[in-house]
């Protein structure tokens, strides 16, 4: 039985292709709205609204003698990965990963025929991944600690191996799917077939009854994160506002034709209400719930009053729709995908995201994103200036605003020379809505 989802649907529809295998493990679990994509979320796990996240959970202790076999077909997607992690208090701690271009197709000995690797992508090729426990001698259950190596060296093993932790906690397998661009005239994304999962005996590779999958759990708030040593972006509160907010200054502006009363209002808007402050983007590597293809997330935190807007400008990387990092570099492409998102840091949600495909690039190669009121008239104003609106969908206007810039699977050259450097670092400022409407809220 093949399980499919249409990414504009909220429900997962079953496409009947025959009887399900008797020993097939329970379905992948989806977070809230993970079958729906677009600009607005929310998405669980600080997720990008243009990425679907499927999770399969299992108990580490009861799976020490179990291999989980994942079988499926390459979907029509911008990028996929299969990753293992361990559920801890603050989230799902990353352990091992296989990226799409690394997958060896069924019947092949290496990834040289994988269309995600060659850059000439065609969906539908089949693959198999074995999730094998990373055993130690003291794991117990009557095991010596060598059974994992013995299995991986046996003829039973699949060509693709993903190791899973054995620390006695709940483990998770993540399937990340960055969804494809729409063809001209399309209004919905293609369906994507989800892989099946079966359980094998670690000692002989034979199918066995699947241990019951566990529904993935996560903290309801960031209380477990506050006070940790993971770095300031994970703590919530005014102590971690960007400290580099500058005093506003008046740019050279032609005020000809503006009456004195309006001029005074504009000057007050700058010097008294102080609504022209910059904020900086920093870089952090996220050890939990982070994608293996993102070498450091670029983030910014700032405080905005109700009705304020933020303007973010950055040099747009060149996008390759498929291909390994090396192939993209040969084709003068910088990375597979990028996006800018707003987050609800306290509740672990991605609120709204703009993907690379929908943002206009100016003649100098830059994009400008405006974070502001979620209404049609403001969107028309923003897009009339060649910018793109990232809607402010916070539940409370007093909440801390967090922005994340994802850059997925960069080429070696871009990663070494341009990633998080110079004009590729977003520049941003907060202005009053009035100042933006007058045309004076810009980033140079």
pLDDT at position 232 is: 31
Candidate from 151-165, 227-241, 358-372, 416-430 with smallest mean pLDDT: 227-241
- 266-298 pLDDT, tens digit per residue, is 554 544 444 457 888 888 776 666 688 888 889
pLDDT digits (tens, 9 = 90+) for 116-160: 999 887 788 999 999 999 987 566 666 777 889 999 999 999 999
Tens-place pLDDT, residues 20-46 = 444 677 767 765 556 667 788 888 778
- Residue 164 reports pLDDT greater than 90: yes
- Asked if pLDDT for residue 221 goes beyond 50, the answer is no
The whole-angstrom separation of Cα 429 and Cα 312 is 7
- Looking at residue 261, what is its pLDDT? 56
> Which pLDDT score is estimated for 191?
66
Q: Which pLDDT belongs to residue 30?
A: 64
For residue 246, pLDDT over 50 is answered with no
What integer pLDDT is reported at residue 167 of this predicted model?
Answer: 80
Q: Which residue has the tokens 């006695």?
A: 168
- What pLDDT does residue 306 have? 78
- Digit-coded pLDDT (tens) for 346-355: 777 889 999 9
CA–CA separation, 38 and 18 (whole Å)? 32
| Residues whose CB falls within 8 Å of the CB of residue 380, separated by 6 or more in sequence, listed in order | none
Most confidently predicted of 205-214, 278-287, 302-311: 302-311
């Amino acid at each position: 039985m093949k399980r499919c989802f249409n990414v504009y649907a909220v429900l997962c529809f079953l496409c009947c292709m025959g009887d399900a295998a008797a020993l097939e493990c329970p379905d992948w679990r989806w977070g809230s709205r993970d079958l729906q994509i677009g600009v607005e979320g929310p998405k669980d796990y600080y997720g990008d609204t243009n990425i679907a996240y499927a999770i399969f959970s299992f108990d580490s202790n009861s799976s020490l003698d179990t291999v989980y076999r994942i079988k499926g077909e390459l979907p029509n997607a911008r990028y996929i990965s299969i990753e293992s992690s361990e559920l801890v208090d603050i989230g799902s701690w990353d352990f091992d990963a296989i990226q799409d271009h690394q997958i060896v197709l069924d019947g092949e000995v290496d990834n040289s025929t994988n269309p995600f690797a060659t850059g000439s992508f065609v969906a539908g090729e089949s693959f198999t991944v074995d999730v094998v426990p990373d055993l130690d001698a003291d794991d117990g259950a009557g095991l010596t600690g060598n059974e994992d190596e013995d299995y991986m060296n046996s003829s039973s093993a699949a060509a693709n191996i993903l190791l899973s932790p054995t620390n006695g906690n709940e483990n998770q397998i993540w399937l990340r799917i960055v969804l494809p661009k729409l063809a001209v005239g399309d209004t919905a994304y293609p369906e994507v077939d989800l892989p099946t999962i079966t359980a094998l005996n670690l000692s002989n590779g034979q199918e066995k009854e699947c241990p019951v999958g566990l529904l993935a759990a996560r903290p309801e708030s960031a209380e477990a994160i506050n006070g940790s040593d993971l770095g300031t972006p994970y703590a919530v509160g005014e102590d971690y506002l960007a400290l580099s907010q500058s005093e506003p200054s008046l740019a050279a502006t032609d005020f000809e034709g503006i009456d004195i009363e309006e001029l005074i209002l504009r000057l007050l808007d700058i010097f008294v209400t102080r609504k022209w402050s910059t904020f900086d983007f920093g870089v952090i590597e996220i050890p939990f719930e982070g994608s293996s293809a993102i070498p450091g997330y670029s983030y910014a935190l700032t405080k905005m009053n109700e009705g304020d807007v933020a303007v973010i400008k950055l040099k747009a990387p060149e996008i390759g729709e498929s291909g390994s990092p090396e192939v993209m570099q040969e084709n003068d492409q910088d990375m597979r995908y990028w996006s800018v998102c707003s987050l609800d840091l306290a509740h672990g949600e991605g609120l709204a995201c703009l993907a690379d495909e929908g943002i206009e690039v100016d003649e100098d190669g830059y994009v400008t994103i405006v974070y502001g009121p979620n209404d049609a008239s403001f969107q028309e104003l923003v897009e009339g200036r060649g910018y793109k609106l990232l809607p402010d969908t916070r539940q409370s206007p007093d909440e801390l605003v967090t922005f994340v810039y994802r850059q997925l699977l960069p080429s070696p050259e871009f990663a070494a020379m341009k990633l998080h450097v110079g004009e590729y670092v977003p520049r941003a400022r907060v202005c009053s809505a009035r100042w933006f409407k007058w045309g004076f809220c810009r980033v140079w």
